[in-house]
Amino acid sequence: MVTSWRAISFSLLIVTAVVLLVFAVRGERSITSYYGTHETHVEDLRRLNTADHKNPSGAYKVALSVAIRRIDPKYSHLVFELLVKNPEVLMGNVRVLYLISERAHELLSASSLVVSNAMAEMPTTISPTGLLGIGVSRAFVLRPVIEFTRMQLLGVIAPIRASVTWVTPAGETVTDYYVFGASDLEMDESMDDYFAD
Amino acid sequence: MPGLGMIRQDQRSGIYSLIKDVSLIVIGLKLTTVQNIIMSVAQAVGASMAIDHLVTAQTFISYRYVGKEGQVWTESLVWQTWFDTRSREVYKHYWGTYVCHNNFQRQATVDFLPPLHSWIRFDASPSYHNDSLIAHRAFDNWFHKRAWTVEYGY
């Protein structure tokens, strides 16, 4: 009887050990979720994705540039800048919004691919005699992926959809929409250094 | 910030030479200065600053949620989650605006995100760092036929 009780205890011990092994914690899950939605901005983004390229005003020039700034031998920032320049008239409350192609997530560590000056509490006015332009940038962290070429980089970041909203001297609010393909992007000199290495 | 996934923490505006040493809150007791923010922005943009102009510096945070699941190998020969523990990583972002020598206003958002930067605060759930406790809680829920439970660190 004692022997069989011991056998039962031993069996229970074995079963417990197996069960404990089986109830291991499996893997680690990562959920990426960010706060920050705003109906007006969501609507602006929806318009960006549906609007055609149009610049009815023609009262200024735009340029979208891309640069790579090395932080250390392994890591870099990929910096986008949309420049609104050469205003022919006074442009009040200039607001810039642009959206990098969704595929850029392959190369960038980012919560969102939106670049905007929506956080500026003071409106920016540019004119031929005052501030001559406005540049709106974002420095994204570039993932240390194995290797990529300039063409592969351009292939994932374009097209970039943008809007420039401003108020005319007559008080009318104008929104111009742009779509920048890979060939429309201006490459900073830093790109040459980066891809030469 | 709308659409950008960031929450503003602090802001200062003024003439750069007068406010460059003013502190801004990043989160809790972590501080930075206007100078740090504007220098980070100018470095990203790659355009030098005209010193005695108006600048604005802002700090932002964003969150990344991470979790661990306690799973049980059930009678139906599949792994089932019976306990979930969720924590939160907090990251910082700087935004600033200044006037460059060409009389253009330049502004930029600079992300401090992985893998280049680590989180600045980690809101850990009670069991997050104890894998055997997570396994035990999962087994306990399964054995007693309780509902799948989740605990949070935020």
The answer, yes or no, to whether residue A48 has pLDDT greater than 80, is no
What are the pLDDT tens digits along chain B (154 aa)?
Answer: 444 578 999 999 999 999 999 999 999 999 999 999 999 999 999 998 987 899 999 999 999 999 999 999 888 889 999 999 999 999 999 999 999 999 999 999 999 998 889 999 999 999 999 999 999 999 999 999 888 899 999 9
Q: Which of A67, A119, A144 sits opposite B8 (nearest CB)?
A: A119
The verdict on residue A119 lying in a domain is yes
Quote the tokens at residue B63: 């969150």
Nearest residue in A to B68, CA atom: A28
CB contact under 8 A, B116 and A71: yes
The answer, yes or no, to whether residue A15 has pLDDT greater than 50, is no
Q: Does B47 touch chain A (CB under 8 A)?
A: yes
The verdict on residue A191 lying in a domain is yes
The verdict on residue A190 lying in a domain is yes
The answer, yes or no, to whether residue A170 has pLDDT greater than 70, is yes
The verdict on residue A184 lying in a domain is yes
Q: Does B6 touch chain A (CB under 8 A)?
A: yes
State pTM to two decimals: 0.82
CB contact under 8 A, B115 and A141: yes
The verdict on residue A142 lying in a domain is yes
Q: Which residues contact A28 (CB under 8 A, 6 or more apart)?
A: B66, B67, B68
Q: Which of B43, B102, B113 sits opposite A69 (nearest CB)?
A: B43
Please give the residue range of the domain that contains residue A103. Answer: 34-196
* CATH number of the domain where residue A85 is located: 2.60.40
A contact test, residue of B105, B110, B132 with most A CBs within 10 A = B105
The verdict on residue A4 lying in a domain is no
The verdict on residue A28 lying in a domain is no
Q: Which residues contact A142 (CB under 8 A, 6 or more apart)?
A: A68, A75, A76, A77, A78, A107, A108, A109
Nearest residue in A to B139, CA atom: A23
The answer, yes or no, to whether residue A43 has pLDDT greater than 80, is no
The total of structural domains in chain A comes to: 1
CB contact under 8 A, B6 and A36: yes
pLDDT value at residue A52: 62
* Cα-based distances in Å from A73 to A69, A70, A144, A194, B68: 11, 7, 10, 11, 33
The verdict on residue A149 lying in a domain is yes
